Structure 1
Amino acid sequence: MAPPQAISPTLQTSFLCSLALAFLRAGRLSSASHIVSSLPAYPPAPLLRRLIPALASAGLTAAAVRFRPVPGDTLTLNSIILSYCSLRLLRPALNLLRASAKPPWQAVDAVSYTIFLSGLSEQGHGELAPAVLAEMSKRGVPFDGVTVNTVLVGLCRRGRVDEAASFAEMLVRGRAIDSLDVAGWNALIDGYCKVQDMATALAVVERMRTEGVEVDVVGHNSLVAGFCRAGEVDAAWGIVETMKADGVQPNVVTYTAFIAEYCRRKEIEEAFSLYEEMVKTGVLPDVVTLSALVDGLGRDGRFSEAYALFREMEKIGAVPNHVTYCTLIDSLVKAQRGKESLALFGEMVSRGVVMDLVTHTALMDWFGKEGKIDQVNTMFQHALSDNLTPNCVTYTVLIDAHCKTGDVDRAEQVLLHMEEKSVNPNVVTFSAIINGLVKRGWLTKAAEYMKKMQEKGIAPNVVTYGALIDGCFKYQGQEAALDVYDDMLRRGVEVNSFVVDSLVNGLIKNGKMEEAEALFQDMSRRGMFLDHVNYTTLIDGLFKTGNMPAAFKVGQELMERNLLPDAAVYNVFINCLCMLGKFKEAKSFLTEMRNSGLKPDQATYNTMIAAQCREGKTSKALKLFDEMKWRSIQPNLITYTTLVAGLLKAGTMEKAKYLLDEMASSGFTPTSLTHRRLLQACSESRRVDVILEIHEWMMNAGLHADIIVYNTLVHVLCCHGMTRKATVILDEMSRRGMAPDTITFNAVILGHCKSSHLDNAFAMYAQMLHQGLSPNIATLNTLLGGLESAGRIEEADTVLSEMKNVGLEPNSLTYDILVSGFAKKSNKVEAVRLYCEMVSKGFVPKVSTYNALISDFAKAGMMSQAKELFNEMQMRGVLPTSCTYNILVNGWSKLRNGTEVRILLKDMKGRQFNPSKDTLNFISRAFSKPGMKREAQRLLKAFFKV
């Protein structure tokens, strides 16, 4: 028996092509795609003539562009050009088009150019269309009305409608075409409507009529949509009346324009009423109509109904498209329901629905707000792989996400890349960078970006100024912040509630409660709308300064202005009462909150849990945690972080580990903030042994190990003098390719200073400079603090000279260290000189600085000078502590000045301070009769309950 003959390659290829075509006809696209991938690069021409158009029409464009067109075969050429355009690959499409116009191919026709022109139009490059049309004409390819209309649509899509009208006029006058057809006129009408030039759109309609061209349903619908977008719904209904008078019946597009506008206005009931009327008249909804309703429900926060309608669409024959998916995803993201939006995103990918740039950007924004920078970058790369061109908004979201994680260097790289791609940053982009720099304390660099944006002609807005004001309050003091505020007013930037909040909050944090209250009232008198956030900030400040009556009065004013307290306002009252230890009153506010119809949220319970943890009452905190879950309020990352930190601080390690495991199983990934709080809790509990254990647990739980995380770990270790372990962490950073920054070095320098290894501290500073890093004021203050602690303050000149060399100015802490250091060394001349310099610059010394000065004078018996300093500190708003009183009582006792001692003891009792045992001994030695010293001590201790 003869052996079976091998199947010839041509026959095998023919069989595979036939099989692929059969799969395509059956709708089994994945099977067809698999078969096509096994075909040779150059199948026989007759097979290609059948296969390529079938692939293109089935949407398998990536498979279609694997092949070269058959010479002289226009159909295969056009199918491949269409596939390239569908894949947004315009350059290969143009190269193929030009190559095919030359011998031996010569397969180009008007349709080939029209397809490419349509691709240009759809991808926003319509301004290039006239040049392509000119090339077409030069090559002798005749164009028709369809080609011209495609060019007009492309120009109109770019907003260049006047240019489109002039181009059409030129073609008609040059007799390239006889006249515009109805589709050409419609392109111009639609273009003018989209740029909201309704007067010119109506003028085009009139010109159509004079030239004997009847306006069809498409032209009328463009006018309806234009008036709806402009908010002129009555005018749009007027167009509908004109339509009917012209014998043109409204169709689904007409109704959809009205429905979309009603949804945009959140007039959902009106939209559904019109929807029902449309169906009753026999006009069936399409995917656009239903997508508009899904969008409207989403905008109105009615997500369950939106999702139900979304799922109902397929049943009524309107399969959701990329617009429907993207609309619903965008709404969910804006409502902070990111997990649901991710599920829809996964469904889109599995169904092969193309995502647009808006959806990519929305998901990037959500990931950024969640601190998930890796997912932000992945989504950005996904957009690039889909051949989408990132715009200013996309880049800004990416920059903002990096800034939120503290990686401003990477954000700056993205900005440079953005500019290299000729995407111009806007005020939001610069504000994101400036805000990121401000949060890192890099105000000088933030100011440089402010200058750069102004050089580009981009005016800073209220958000930019608000970020700078906030940063100045935190890092440069009140005067610098108010200078920025004055600059803002000079430039005519209108103050809003955001800036008011930055100013009020900054003044409160700087201890200027009266000024904050006065500013708030001034803004209120000027008629500025102050929102819940402004009131909440002021109430919070008043509570924290102990002015409860004023806080309740502001709360009353809030209600009188019909700004009914929301959950946030109640949360502030609850938080402040908890901070003051008034937990019963906080509980009564919780009850009142429920009675007023407001539902306590995560923040409410987190506040009360945090209060119990601060008091060390972890059992009560855990009861609140259980109550929270019983009331169907899901704990969030803050809840778990607060509880675990409280348990670690209390030393209950096993319960803390159990909650950490529960947190991981609930799907929460630790952030850098979680990491910092938990390590600080370990530090405060003196459980130094578990610091590295907790760090390792969080790394295994998915913590993104960035510079912020490592800086926290190094800082906590160094605060306990564990500089050797910190050095091991530095080596680990190096292995990961992560260079230490200024903050890292500051932490290690601090560790060496705390361990009294000053030489190592200065060696680390030298290494920092060697690596090209610039010190900040914290670096040099740490070195000064080390010298002061070691009693070597006389060497401070070296550090001060270095401070001057690197362009840094001493701040309040610098002076506190210097004054205290020289006072402790009894160098009164230098201490007083520095004190006078400090207060002349507007800095207010800390109470510890005053105590050091007063102590130095008291030791020398110079009590009148000590008393003068005591009075002066109170004039500057610095409240004396029990230590201050003990120093003064001891000093006056040495001089046996009973009058001054009695005044101070009375003052102490009024402030609920008790003299120390040493102070009582001083008093008894100074004032008791001979032989009565022990009895005097006993009576004093009994009186002061020491």
Structure 2
Amino acid sequence: MAPPLLRLHASFLCSLAIALLRAGRLSAASHLLSSLPASSSPPAPLLRRLIPALASSGLAAAAIRFHPADPVSLNAVLYSYCRLRLLRPAIALLRSSRPTTVAYNLLLAGLSDNAHARLAPAVLAEMCKRGLPFDGVTVNTLLAALCRNGQVDAAAGLADMLLLHRGAGMDAIGWNTLIAGYCRVGDTPTALSVADRMTAQGLPMDVVGYNTLVAGFCRAGEVDAARGMLDMMKEAGVDPNVATYTPFIVYYCRTKGVEEAFDLYEGMVRNGVLPDVVTLSALVAGLCRDGRFSEAYALFREMDKVGAAPNHVTYCTLIDSLAKAGRGKESLSLLGEMVSRGVVMDLVTYTALMDWSGKQSKTDEVKDKLHFALSDNLSPNGVTYTVLIDTLCKAGNVDEAEQVLLEMEEKSISPNVVTFSSVINGFVKRGLLDKATEYKRMMKERGINPNVVTYGTLIDGFFKFQGQDAALEVYHDMLCEGVEVNKFIVDSLVHGLRRNGKIEEAMALFKDMSGSGLSLDHVNYTTLIDGLFKAGDMPTAFKFGQELMDRNMLPDAVVYNVFINCLCMLGKFKEAKSFLTEMRNMGLKPDQSTYNTMIVSHCRKGETAKALKLLHEMKMSSIKPNLITYNTLVAGLFGTGAVEKAKYLLNEMVLAGFVPSSLTHRRVLQACSQSRRLDVILDIHEWMMNAGLHADITIYNTLLQVLCYHGMTRKATVVLEEMLGSGIAPDTITFNALILGHCKSSHLDNAFATYAQMLHQNISPNIATFNTLLGGLESFGRIGEAGIVLIEMEKSGLEPNNLTYDILVTGHGKQSNKVEAMRLYCEMVGKGFVPKVSTYNALISDFTKAGMMTQAKELFKDMQKRGVHPTSCTYDILSRFEILCLSGSYLVIVKMVHDPAVETFSYLCGLDHRIIGGTVGGVLITAELFRFVATIGNFPVHVFVFEWIKNELAERTSAILFTSLWPIQGYCTKHLPSQGKKRWLIACRKGCKASDRRAELGLVLDSGF
């Protein structure tokens, strides 16, 4: 091809590339130019158009290929490199060419924008070395670079050098740059002195200089000085503009309130100064800060009408505020609008949305938003990474959080105290206190001092996992480090002490902190009041509630919720309702927590009708039920057998946008189990799966546990096959459920076969596995085979626990293996375990059957000494074998009738005819027994009297009536029911005397007898 033709071809390709670049088709333009032969040389005028087009499109590397020689092309490529933050290629290009002053000015501007201002003096020195003159733009650019990097003194030194040594003057832009630099670092006095030097040089202050000083004073909180500057500005004949008023508006919104800001705004508009997007964005932010979201949104919508379209700051402010206020749906809607309008999102917006998703425990969404930020060429900062780390730690993914922390350090992004505190919180939640302490040490080594949040988190963790002494040691370490106690620490200490049963110590600490001048808040009082209620100390709880009000801290909704919750727990629903009424009278709105508390209490008592009434009241008050509300009600309805109502509520829950959770699934299936509605268990499970319940190992284990508890092993096997078909592998809980199911369905051999299968699949058994097998052996009288199970337990490195010993002792007791039962009993108590009452009953029963009364009585005493309360069954065992009456003592009976844990009526009905007939212990002891019975309430003594009459023991009947029952009020009546009259006639025929109607005392019969 001839050279002219080649040149023509190159010109055509270059023209086409320019057209493609203008159309935004960058990849097509780049591909087209790559096909251009290296030997071709487009005309210089065309290159002067092509190179800037490539550079402005970000294709600086492609532009370099054409060796930009003329100043315009060279400057275009330099500008492109600087804009893309490619400073090394920019410097290399500058040094390999013949640049002008403009080229160096562009490089200086690039250094300033990319936080490399420290290199600016060296570039200026190189410029001087190459003999290039610097102009006002050079000086101003250099000053801006240094000031932006915080090197204001260096900038001032440079200005002095230029003025004194080089005789170069500075224009207003340079002086204003210095003023802005000092204002930015908060040094307003020096900024004012620079302004004085400027006027001394013969340059009057312009509107930019005045505005800079006004903004600096407002930012420093010196609003009076800012007003003085405004007055000086007017006196100098400089008219204020929107940039003058905006700093005042921003200051008022942040400190004195939005009303003053709006007063100034209205005055500004009256003076003919129209607001811009910055002014209106500041007002939107102020309204959001006050929680006035409706007004903020209305002003946001007015911005377009006044010609100040919302920018990314306005959108980000509103999105961030709505997200933090928990109004995520509205913030996401604004985000969609922002994207559709082409408003570029910044890192603040992404971080705010990540934070909102994190607070909703949506870890995947947080990661997605970070990915979107990266795809928009936004580099995450420390705050962004901290949000991600905090979300991961709260979700329990501490290992992944550690990896993110390493990534931060690799990118030279320094973690701060919040970052480390989040990681420490993650380890504390998992009980890994050693790791948490290690991170605290790491913080201190890096010069980051742990704050009250760090120490409060550690105190909480040590209280929970290592006890009071360890937690208080952390507290003392905190004091030694000079960290002052605040409300957060007090709350951690009070909460920890009361959780450990030390409510008195918690109260003493609370009083000490309050007396030392520390200002305690609602949260502190609420924590203590809640602890006092749960400790049963209602009077003191109310006393602290009164103290709260005496300190002019009116109770908020949380305080009322604590009172309502605790009263409901104590069964005092009327009092709880009165608190609800008082809460409304105080102008406080009950929230979801308030109603959920009362609904939970009613459902716990089986009062589902009252709970549903509260749900209706809740809806009428425009309070939306949440997942807790629905979970509680649905479980409560299934628990009472109201299946259709429960299904209706489940449908309502799904229509309200709630997906059944694993908690919903577990509570509902357990409720069906308790009400023995086994017919609906599988149907409900399937319904929840169709409603969006995510099937995982937890869901299947819950279903298997419920089915196996009732011995429904065939259905459980079908569920297991479905689970395996879904690719979900069984775990220890799965096999434990199946073993229990086989034990419950009387297939003990299948239970042991399942255990063998468990080992074959390399799934480790736990203590519950072995206890279930032992329980099966005990139930079928095969406790003699327990040794095999105990050997397996030992192989697994497990020790018997309280339940293990209860099963073994009970099993051997039932089989009359007294020696082995007592050996195990002694071993059990020697290890500090306390036997259950059923274990004692089995031992006492075994000894009484053998007539070993002394040993039985010793066990009975030991039982009470260890704080185990006898039940009616215990007393029945003793009375049945005549221990009490043979000894001529009824003291144990006296203890029994005053024991709230014993059902007196059921016990006395089981005394049988040995005592009723007076054959043991005689009439006097029997009379005394009835005297004690009568003192505790209207017990139907007539049952026994009639038995005596039937057995022709009339004389003994009269003796009982006259010696025991006559002095007791409430047993005498002149009007007997018809059944009573018939029995009275029988009594008379049998020899009872009716002279003074005293015999009626023993014949008070209820109509149902």
Aligned match of 2:977: none
Aligned match of 2:137: 146
Quick check: 1:784–1:817 contact (8 Å CA) kept in 2?
no
Cα 1:151–1:294 change in 2 (3 A) is same
Quick check: 1:850–1:873 contact (8 Å CA) kept in 2?
no
Aligned match of 1:320: 310
Say if 2:90 is the partner of 1:97: yes
SS in 1 for 2:383: helix
Quick check: 2:659–2:693 contact (8 Å CA) kept in 1?
yes
Quick check: 1:854–1:866 contact (8 Å CA) kept in 2?
no
Say if 2:701 is the partner of 1:714: yes
Q: 1:364-443 residue pairs with structure 2 within 5 A? A: 364-443=354-433
Query: In the aligned structure 1, how far is the partner of 2:450 from the partner of 2:752?
Result: 45
Cα 1:585–1:10 change in 2 (3 A) is farther
Quick check: 2:148–2:181 contact (8 Å CA) kept in 1?
yes
Query: In the aligned structure 1, how far is the partner of 2:128 from the partner of 2:455?
Result: 55
Aligned match of 1:298: 288
Query: In the aligned structure 1, how far is the partner of 2:364 from the partner of 2:129?
Result: 50
Q: How far is 1:898 from its partner?
A: 6.1
Query: In the aligned structure 1, how far is the partner of 2:732 from the partner of 2:159?
Result: 68
Query: In the aligned structure 1, how far is the partner of 2:880 from the partner of 2:455?
Result: 50
Q: How far is 1:276 from its partner?
A: 1.8
Q: 1:130-209 residue pairs with structure 2 within 5 A? A: 130=121, 143-166=134-157, 175=166, 178-209=168-199
Cα 1:712–1:197 change in 2 (3 A) is farther
Which of these residues, 562, 565, 574, is aligned with residue 564 of structure 2? 574
Q: 1:492-891 residue pairs with structure 2 within 5 A? A: 492-650=482-640, 652=642, 655-669=645-659, 677=667, 681=671, 710-711=697-698, 713-714=700-701, 717-718=704-705, 721=708, 745=731, 747-748=733-734, 750-751=736-737, 754=740, 757=751, 781-782=767-768, 785-786=771-772, 789=775, 792=786, 816-817=802-803, 820=806, 824=810, 828=822, 831-832=825-826, 835=829, 838=832, 849=836, 852=839, 856=843, 861-862=854-855, 866=859, 869-870=862-863, 872-874=865-867, 880=869, 882=871, 886=875
Q: 1:255-334 residue pairs with structure 2 within 5 A? A: 255-334=245-324
Cα 1:232–1:628 change in 2 (3 A) is same
Query: In the aligned structure 1, how far is the partner of 2:881 from the partner of 2:125?
Result: 101
Aligned match of 1:238: 228
SS in 2 for 1:90: coil
One-letter amino acid of the counterpart of residue 446, structure 1:
A
SS in 2 for 1:606: helix
Aligned match of 1:358: 348
One-letter amino acid of the counterpart of residue 90, structure 1:
R
Query: In the aligned structure 2, how far is the partner of 1:430 from the partner of 1:945?
Result: 73
Query: In the aligned structure 2, how far is the partner of 1:729 from the partner of 1:174?
Result: 89
Quick check: 1:470–1:502 contact (8 Å CA) kept in 2?
yes
Quick check: 2:284–2:299 contact (8 Å CA) kept in 1?
yes
Deviates more, 1:824-833 or 1:9-18: 9-18
Deviates more, 1:482-491 or 1:785-794: 785-794
Query: In the aligned structure 2, how far is the partner of 1:152 from the partner of 1:79?
Result: 23
Cα 1:425–1:326 change in 2 (3 A) is same
Deviates more, 1:43-52 or 1:254-263: 43-52
Aligned match of 2:462: 472
Q: 1:117-136 residue pairs with structure 2 within 5 A? A: 117-122=108-113, 124-127=115-118, 129-130=120-121
Q: How far is 1:356 from its partner?
A: 1.9
Cα 1:898–1:231 change in 2 (3 A) is farther
Q: How far is 1:186 from its partner?
A: 2.7
Query: RCO higher in 1 or 2 (8 Å CA, sep ≥ 6)?
Result: 1
Say if 2:219 is the partner of 1:229: yes
Aligned match of 1:335: 325
Query: In the aligned structure 2, how far is the partner of 1:457 from the partner of 1:290?
Result: 41
Gaps of 5+ in 1: 1-7, 22-31, 771-778, 805-809, 839-844
Gaps of 5+ in 2: 1-8, 37-41, 744-750, 778-782, 813-819, 848-853, 934-938, 945-1009
One-letter amino acid of the counterpart of residue 631, structure 1:
S
Q: What TM-score, normalized to structure 2?
A: 0.75
Query: In the aligned structure 2, how far is the partner of 1:360 from the partner of 1:820?
Result: 58
| Larger radius of gyration between Structure 1 and Structure 2 | 2
SS in 1 for 2:588: coil
Deviates more, 1:425-434 or 1:181-190: 181-190
One-letter amino acid of the counterpart of residue 638, structure 1:
I
Query: In the aligned structure 2, how far is the partner of 1:291 from the partner of 1:95?
Result: 38
Cα 1:18–1:409 change in 2 (3 A) is closer
Instruction: Give CA deviations for 1:644-686 in whole Å, capped at 9, x if unaligned.
Output: 3434444555554544444444344556655665565566566
Cα 1:680–1:857 change in 2 (3 A) is closer
Cα 1:151–1:850 change in 2 (3 A) is farther
Query: In the aligned structure 2, how far is the partner of 1:536 from the partner of 1:444?
Result: 31
Cα 1:684–1:369 change in 2 (3 A) is farther
Quick check: 1:717–1:725 contact (8 Å CA) kept in 2?
no
Deviates more, 1:136-145 or 1:224-233: 136-145
Aligned match of 1:24: none
Deviates more, 1:548-557 or 1:137-146: 137-146
Which of these residues, 891, 894, 909, is aligned with residue 902 of structure 1? 891
Quick check: 1:360–1:379 contact (8 Å CA) kept in 2?
yes
Query: In the aligned structure 2, how far is the partner of 1:301 from the partner of 1:945?
Result: 71
One-letter amino acid of the counterpart of residue 532, structure 2:
L
Quick check: 1:37–1:63 contact (8 Å CA) kept in 2?
no
Query: In the aligned structure 1, how far is the partner of 2:689 from the partner of 2:485?
Result: 44
Identity across matched positions, percent: 53
Query: In the aligned structure 2, how far is the partner of 1:136 from the partner of 1:575?
Result: 76
Cα 1:371–1:595 change in 2 (3 A) is same
Q: How far is 1:257 from its partner?
A: 0.8
One-letter amino acid of the counterpart of residue 902, structure 2:
F
Query: In the aligned structure 2, how far is the partner of 1:183 from the partner of 1:17?
Result: 37
Paired residues, number = 882
Cα 1:653–1:929 change in 2 (3 A) is closer
Q: How far is 1:603 from its partner?
A: 1.9
Aligned match of 1:841: none
Query: In the aligned structure 2, how far is the partner of 1:155 from the partner of 1:763?
Result: 74
Query: In the aligned structure 2, how far is the partner of 1:246 from the partner of 1:336?
Result: 49
Query: In the aligned structure 2, how far is the partner of 1:392 from the partner of 1:193?
Result: 25
Query: In the aligned structure 2, how far is the partner of 1:467 from the partner of 1:603?
Result: 25
One-letter amino acid of the counterpart of residue 717, structure 1:
L
Q: How far is 1:367 from its partner?
A: 0.7
Q: How far is 1:447 from its partner?
A: 3.3
Query: In the aligned structure 1, how far is the partner of 2:11 from the partner of 2:651?
Result: 62
Query: In the aligned structure 2, how far is the partner of 1:523 from the partner of 1:793?
Result: 57
Cα 1:193–1:943 change in 2 (3 A) is farther
Instruction: Give CA deviations for 1:255-299 in whole Å, capped at 9, x if unaligned.
Output: 111110100015211111111222222322211111111111111
Quick check: 1:896–1:927 contact (8 Å CA) kept in 2?
no
Query: In the aligned structure 2, how far is the partner of 1:518 from the partner of 1:125?
Result: 57
Cα 1:593–1:51 change in 2 (3 A) is farther
One-letter amino acid of the counterpart of residue 148, structure 2:
R
Query: In the aligned structure 1, how far is the partner of 2:401 from the partner of 2:722?
Result: 26
